[in-house]
Amino acid sequence: MEESLKSWDTECLLSDMVRIIRTNRPLVVISRFHGYVRDGHGNHQAIGGLTSDAVAAAAEPDRFPEQITEEGLRPWTVRKSYRGGVRENQPWCINFDAGQHSPWIGDSYYNFGVYGLSL
For residues 119 and 66, give the distance between their C-alpha atoms in angstroms, rounded to a whole number: 27
**CA-wise closest residue to 60 among 13, 22, 30, 9:** 22
- Tell me which DSSP letter residue 60 carries: -
> Can you give the residue range of the structural domain that contains 55?
2-88
Rg (CA), the chain: 15
In a domain, 78, yes or no: yes
Residue 32 belongs to domain with CATH number: 3.40.50.10320
Q: Quote the number of domains for the chain.
A: 1
Q: Is 100 contained in some domain?
A: no
Closest CA to 92 of 83, 101, 100: 83
pLDDT at 102 over 60: yes
**Per-residue pLDDT tens for 17-73?**
999 999 999 999 888 766 655 655 556 566 777 888 999 999 999 999 999 999 999
Residue 112, domain member (yes or no): no
